[in-house]
């Protein structure tokens, strides 16, 4: 008879609501009303009854119950979420969206249900941004991440514009959004986003102020550690037989990338690289390099290749072998319209000789990629 244990009755009522017949909803409403009478201060009991009454078509009574739930538990994100869904379905859509915005403002744990309701209830993008999205960096970044996770380029673009118009963007989501565009083959748009955003946070990380204008390598002077996940910064892939680190002491000025081979592997090394989007034209990659004790017939060199099809572009500098003092190397190359982006790589190919395990250390600094024509 459910005289003592409320949970049993509630579970039975929920199951009857799922059945959805007139009789089952009628019984559920009575059980939930009895539960409310036993605990009238509970916002959740008011919500339960309101949801059952809405299924029965008693919308005025249901609306009263949801209103009481908000009065008693309006600070609860769960209550705001349920109320938001109710108002979206049966009441004032703007009120419902404002309740969902309050949900997003209070917690990140309910992002997925809120974003799911936007879609399930047919909320337009304009409605979401006008009423359902708080001007809160954490919330809007979560919404951008949701669009990226679902590979929704159009939605991500609109969210990004909304974010930047309100100065809610930062380095972290610039990395996320530009990388997303890049992997969706929106190369020019990705580069535009990255160039625009780096102009905002360059004072803290220090790449050349001419980046994207005269200098096309990001972090060309190795002025900061590569930004994790940034598709347009240096990508360094660790490997056990090579140590790669940023060195700001060995060279006369500035910083360099130091690459030390342990002599334990005949490695095909291409673990330091950067993607660059370039318009058609003629360019020059330049660097200042130094080496000590580089063994084997295959040394280290710089390479510029088409990021998608090496048959379109693949040029290399002279190899660095043995030991040498600081000196400049450069690669002139031409980019045609068929090339969407190039990949600048610090490279060493495997050797075919018996004595093929490479050892020694290389430093590379003053990297620069400029347009010559």
Give the model confidence (pLDDT) of 135-170 as tens digits: 999 999 999 999 999 999 999 999 999 999 999 999
**Per-residue pLDDT at 10:** 77
C-alpha dihedral, 168 to 174 to 176 to 179, nearest 10°: 150
pLDDT (mean) for 296-303: 97
Confidence of residue 3 (pLDDT cuts 50, 70, 90): low
**Distance (Å, whole) CA 10 – CA 126:** 38
Contact 86, 50 (CB under 8 A): yes
pLDDT of residue 133: 95
- Work out the pLDDT band at 38, boundaries 50, 70, 90: confident
Q: Pick the more confident residue, 333 or 10.
A: 333
Q: Measured between alpha carbons, how far is 145 from 148 in angstroms, rounded to an integer? A: 5
Least confident of 10-24, 161-175, 277-291: 10-24
**Calpha distance 318→330 (Å, rounded):** 9
Q: What is the pLDDT of residue 209?
A: 53
Question: Is the pLDDT confidence value at 91 over 70?
Answer: yes
Which tokens sit at 121?
């209830």
Share of the chain above pLDDT 90, in %: 74
Residue reference for tokens 């710089």: 302
CA 167 to chain centre: 17
Task: Decide: 291 and 259 in contact? Cβ < 8 Å.
Answer: no
**Please, which pLDDT band fits residue 204 given cuts at 50, 70 and 90?**
very low
Closest CA to 232 of 277, 279, 188, 200: 277
What's the mean pLDDT in 192-219?
Answer: 76
Q: Is the pLDDT of residue 251 over 70?
A: yes
pLDDT of residue 307: 96
Q: What is the mean pLDDT of the chain?
A: 91
- Average pLDDT (307-336) is 96
Report residue 176's pLDDT band, with 50, 70 and 90 as the boundaries. very high
Max mean pLDDT among 13-27, 178-192, 239-253 falls in 178-192
Question: pLDDT at residue 2 above 60?
Answer: no
Query: What is the radius of gyration, based on Cα positions, of the chain?
Result: 30
Q: What is the pLDDT of residue 5?
A: 61
**Between residues 267 and 22, which one has the greater pLDDT?**
267
**Mean pLDDT for the stretch of residues 99-107:** 96
pLDDT at residue 4 tops 70: no
pLDDT exceeding 70 applies to what percent of the chain?
A: 96
């Amino acid at each position: 008879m459910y005289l003592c244990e409320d949970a049993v009755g509630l579970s039975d009522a929920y199951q009857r609501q799922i059945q959805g017949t007139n009789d089952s909803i009628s019984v559920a409403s009575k059980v939930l009303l009895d539960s409310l009478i036993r605990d009238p201060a509970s916002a959740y009991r008011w919500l339960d009854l309101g949801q059952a009454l809405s299924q029965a078509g008693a919308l005025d009574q249901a609306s009263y119950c949801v209103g009481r739930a908000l009065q008693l538990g309006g600070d609860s994100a769960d209550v705001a979420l349920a109320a938001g869904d109710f108002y979206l379905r049966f009441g004032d859509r703007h009120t419902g969206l404002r309740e969902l915005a309050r949900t997003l403002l209070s917690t990140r744990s309910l992002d997925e249900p809120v974003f799911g309701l936007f879609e399930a209830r047919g909320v337009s993008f304009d409605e979401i941004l006008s009423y359902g999205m708080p001007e809160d960096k954490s919330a809007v970044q979560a919404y951008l991440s949701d669009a990226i996770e679902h590979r929704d380029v159009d939605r991500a673009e609109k969210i990004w514009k909304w974010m930047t118009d309100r100065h809610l963007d930062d380095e972290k989501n610039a990395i996320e959004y530009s990388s997303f565009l890049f992997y969706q083959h929106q190369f020019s748009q990705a580069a535009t986003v990255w160039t625009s955003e780096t102009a905002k946070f360059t004072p803290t990380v220090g790449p050349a102020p001419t980046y994207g204008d005269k200098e096309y390598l990001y972090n060309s002077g190795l002025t900061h550690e590569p930004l994790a996940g940034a598709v347009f910064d240096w990508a360094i892939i660790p490997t056990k037989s090579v140590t790669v680190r940023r060195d700001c002491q060995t060279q006369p000025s500035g910083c360099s990338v130091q690459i030390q081979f342990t002599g334990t592997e005949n490695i095909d090394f291409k673990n330091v690289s950067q993607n660059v989007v370039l318009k058609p034209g003629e360019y020059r990659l330049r660097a200042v390099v130094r080496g000590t004790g580089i063994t084997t017939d295959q040394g280290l060199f710089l390479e510029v290749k088409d990021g998608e099809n090496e048959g379109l572009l693949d040029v290399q500098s002279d190899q660095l072998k043995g030991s040498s003092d600081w000196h400049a190397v450069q690669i002139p190359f031409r980019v045609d319209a068929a090339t969407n982006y190039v990949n600048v790589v610090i490279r060493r190919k495997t050797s075919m000789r018996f004595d093929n395990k490479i050892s020694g250390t290389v430093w590379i600094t003053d990297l620069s990629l400029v347009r010559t024509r």
